[in-house]
Amino acid sequence: MAREIQFGKAAIKCGIFTFRCRPQEGGGDRMEKGYLPEERMLPAIHLVRRFTASAGQGHPAAKSVRVVKGYETGIYLTNGGSIIINGERHALQRYHIRFLREGDRVSSEPGYTCDSIYFDFGDSGVFYENEMLAAIPSFFMGNESHAFLFQKIAEYAKSGETGAAAAMNGLLLQMVSGYYHLLHSKEDYSETVKSCLSYMKEHLGEHITLSDLGDFTGYSALHVLRLFKENTGRTPHAHLTKMRIAYAKELLAEGNDPLAAVASACGFDSESHFQSLFKKQTGITPGKYRKYAMQLT
Amino acid sequence: MAREIQFGKAAIKCGIFTFRCRPQEGGGDRMEKGYLPEERMLPAIHLVRRFTASAGQGHPAAKSVRVVKGYETGIYLTNGGSIIINGERHALQRYHIRFLREGDRVSSEPGYTCDSIYFDFGDSGVFYENEMLAAIPSFFMGNESHAFLFQKIAEYAKSGETGAAAAMNGLLLQMVSGYYHLLHSKEDYSETVKSCLSYMKEHLGEHITLSDLGDFTGYSALHVLRLFKENTGRTPHAHLTKMRIAYAKELLAEGNDPLAAVASACGFDSESHFQSLFKKQTGITPGKYRKYAMQLT
């Protein structure tokens, strides 16, 4: 339970808005929880499979409730049958997608055909999540391009050739981030969030607080914070940092200004704060970044 | 140097046919070397950039020789200019691709426009390689789809939004494995290798040695080994293991045979050998695999 609270705190800090406390299952088989930055997400694919549950076949496994371990995703290729996820029933149509995670309770009824992948991220025994993964719903409508990705992954899985594993991981990462982008587009952000993002972009070099955004929009700081988390999965502060780092990258790559000047232009309090934050977000120091940028020309 | 030999041994063991000993540079800035299984390849993207070197502009950085750190790849979007890689000059045409790695010596001459990505795999300070990466040449002709992937990665890099980092990593993994598959297709294998692969598939449950393949093809065992490495980047034994694991997966998912029977049907010496090898290759035990396979139906 201590770990659960710890993860909850980390999740809130990182902008996961709702931290679902799922019922504890009887078994000692449950995974620990951890937070995994998007940049470090490496899928470990355990199983790729197509399954057809024919109507009336009465496949026993298709009836009983099971509790999901790690992650699984699947795309339905036919109309028919249904899936019950955490008590909610969904009638299955072609290109419906399920994205299930640790602790979800699921059962299904024939008949359907689906392509399924069972996977997790990194070390087995730890269930990793982040704001992107948390924002993907359990059930939604996909499209033909998703079915194509599943099929490609299945082909690579069958081939087992050199280069297949890397390709599968690449496709799965692309698919999962695609789920997120399918459902969370910048165009769908509320006008308030959009105007705050523009405001931040224009005043990047200045000190900007949550109450500044409140004053600017005419709402309370708390309301702005909540809107940001709901719309983007991130706090305004996290956006501001990303924007500042992105602008710093431009300045580092295009000019010869000293680091202190770059830090100041991007609104960082000090050069040392800039240096440490840049390293943390990008993995390399501003100096190295500039060196690589010069090198690549 | 001890590490270099160690990597060389690991590379040979894993089927990298030529282990290039590059000249040691003066600086103490060089990365250590390591072997990274394909399944564990996680790109860390440091820089994404479009650069135009106009003819006659005399950009100084475009003239001097530099030594590459980690990995970089780029696609040329125009005809014109040239690149000199390890002493070999290449006239640049649209969709030419460079794939440079630790220690490569490179310089270039205007005018060209290229999209470039600088990246490595995992821990900084270690230069990771494997049979797939080793088999990608430094310079080759790509196509429009590569240019599209570069452009998508650049868009995500600019956006910095939730989901962008995961998508970039997915696309880059896909691109790098795509380089390999563009240049190494099963159709291009020699007839000898193809017939050995068929032979192994048909006799999967039996004990197969390199000399069996020699007898079967009428060549020496050493010749067969060399052909396999040249054509596929892997030894016959590595292929055999992959095939056995793939067949074991089928049997585990589709039936209820005891593990000992599955091991025997797939040509493993013993159930314990099967168990440990399966775990090593897939990350999970045969028992867990079966459980997941049943679960996903």
| pLDDT 10s digits, A188-217 | 788 999 999 999 999 988 999 999 999 999
Average pLDDT over residues A21-50: 72
Return the H-helix or E-strand segment holding B260: helix B259-265
What torsion do the CA atoms of B205, B210, B213, B218 make, to the nearest 10 degrees? Answer: -160
Which residue among B161, B184, B289 places its CB closest to the CB of A186? B161
Contact: B284, A160; criterion CB under 8 Å: no
Q: What are the φ/ψ torsions at residue A96 (nearest 5 degrees)?
A: -60, 145
Distance, CA of B147 to CA of B235 (rounded, Å): 33
Average pLDDT over residues A77-104: 94
Which pLDDT score, from 0 to 100, does residue A12 have?
A: 32
Which pLDDT score, from 0 to 100, does residue A24 have?
A: 39
Which pLDDT score, from 0 to 100, does residue B64 have?
A: 83
Please determine, for residue A20, whether its predicted confidence score (pLDDT) is greater than 90. Answer: no
- Tokens 């020309």 belong to which residue? A297
Under DSSP, the state recorded for A104 is -
Nearest Cα of chain A lies from the Cα of B220 at a distance, in angstroms, of 24
pLDDT values of chain B reduced to their tens digit, one per residue, 297 residues: 333 333 333 333 333 322 222 333 444 466 788 888 888 899 989 889 888 887 655 554 456 888 998 999 999 999 999 999 999 999 999 999 999 999 999 998 888 999 999 999 876 678 999 889 988 999 999 999 999 999 999 999 888 788 899 999 999 999 999 999 888 877 778 899 999 999 999 998 899 999 999 999 999 999 999 998 888 878 899 889 988 998 998 899 888 899 999 999 999 989 999 999 998 888 788 998 888 887 776
- Tokens 């040392």 belong to which residue? A272
Distance, CA of B192 to CA of B195 (rounded, Å): 5
Between positions 123 and 182 of B, the ones with CB within 8 A of A are 124, 131-132, 135, 158-167, 169-178, 180-181
DSSP symbols for A172-186? HHHHHHHHHHHH--G
Which pLDDT score, from 0 to 100, does residue B63 have?
A: 64
> Which amino acid belongs to residue A19?
F
The most distant pair of C-alpha atoms in chain B lies apart, rounded to whole Å, by 72
- A121 beta partners: A43
Contacts of B15 in chain A (CB under 8 A): 162
Tokens of A263: 């830090």
Average pLDDT over residues A12-30: 37
Contact: A174, B167; criterion CB under 8 Å: yes
Distance, CA of A212 to CA of A49 (rounded, Å): 52
CATH number for the domain formed by residue range(s) A2-183? 2.60.120.280
Which pLDDT score, from 0 to 100, does residue A26 have?
A: 42
> Which amino acid belongs to residue A289?
Y
Residues of chain A within CATH 2.60.120.280 domain(s) are 2-183
Distance, CA of B33 to CA of B262 (rounded, Å): 38
Contact: B165, A66; criterion CB under 8 Å: no
Tokens of A39: 């940049």
DSSP symbols for B15-30? T------PPPPSSTTP
Count CA atoms closer than 13 A to B278's CA, side-chain side: 30
Query: With pLDDT > 90 as the criterion, what percentage of chain A qualifies?
Result: 47
Tokens of A16: 């996961």
Which pLDDT score, from 0 to 100, does residue B18 have?
A: 26
Which pLDDT score, from 0 to 100, does residue A242 have?
A: 87
Nearest-5° angle of CA B114, CA B119, CA B122? 170
Which pLDDT score, from 0 to 100, does residue A62 have?
A: 53
Mean pLDDT score across all residues of chain A: 83
Which pLDDT score, from 0 to 100, does residue B56 have?
A: 58
Which pLDDT score, from 0 to 100, does residue A150 have?
A: 96
Q: Are A293 and A286 in contact (CB under 8 A)?
A: no
| pLDDT 10s digits, A117-158 | 999 987 667 899 988 998 899 999 999 999 999 999 999 988
Q: What are the φ/ψ torsions at residue A118 (nearest 5 degrees)?
A: -110, 130
Label residue A29 by pLDDT band (50, 70, 90): low
Residues of chain B within CATH 1.10.10.60 domain(s) are 188-295
Distance, CA of A67 to CA of A22 (rounded, Å): 11
Which residue among A51, A177, A245 places its CB closest to the CB of B166? A177
Which pLDDT score, from 0 to 100, does residue B150 have?
A: 96
Contacts of A163 in chain B (CB under 8 A): 38, 132, 177, 180-181, 184
What torsion do the CA atoms of B249, B134, B31, A296 make, to the nearest 10 degrees? Answer: -120
- A45 beta partners: A119
Contact: A61, B253; criterion CB under 8 Å: no
List C-alpha distances in Å: B249 to A46, A60, A291, B256, B279: 10, 21, 48, 12, 12
List C-alpha distances in Å: B224 to B18, B212, B215, B221, B243: 17, 10, 10, 5, 18
Which pLDDT score, from 0 to 100, does residue A114 have?
A: 93
> Which amino acid belongs to residue B121?
F
Sheet holding B43-53, edge to edge: B43-53, B112-121, B71-76, B96-101, B139-141
Distance, CA of B169 to CA of A41 (rounded, Å): 9
Q: Are A55 and A80 in contact (CB under 8 A)?
A: yes
Contacts of A44 in chain B (CB under 8 A): 39, 283
Contacts of B249 in chain A (CB under 8 A): 47
Of A148, A196, A44, A181, residue with least CA distance to B281: A44
Q: Please list the helix, strand and coil fractions of chain B in percent, rounded to the nearest 5, in that order.
A: 45, 20, 35
Alpha helices in B14-137, H assignment, sequence order: 131-134
Provide the 3-class DSSP secondary structure of residue B204: coil
Please determine, for residue A89, whether its predicted confidence score (pLDDT) is greater than 90. Answer: yes
CATH number for the domain formed by residue range(s) B188-295? 1.10.10.60
Between positions 22 and 51 of B, the ones with CB within 8 A of A are 37-42, 44, 46-47, 49, 51
Of A240, A279, A234, A276, residue with least CA distance to A13: A234
Which pLDDT score, from 0 to 100, does residue A23 have?
A: 34
Q: Are B69 and B146 in contact (CB under 8 A)?
A: no
Label residue A295 by pLDDT band (50, 70, 90): confident
Provide the 3-class DSSP secondary structure of residue B98: strand
Label residue A63 by pLDDT band (50, 70, 90): low
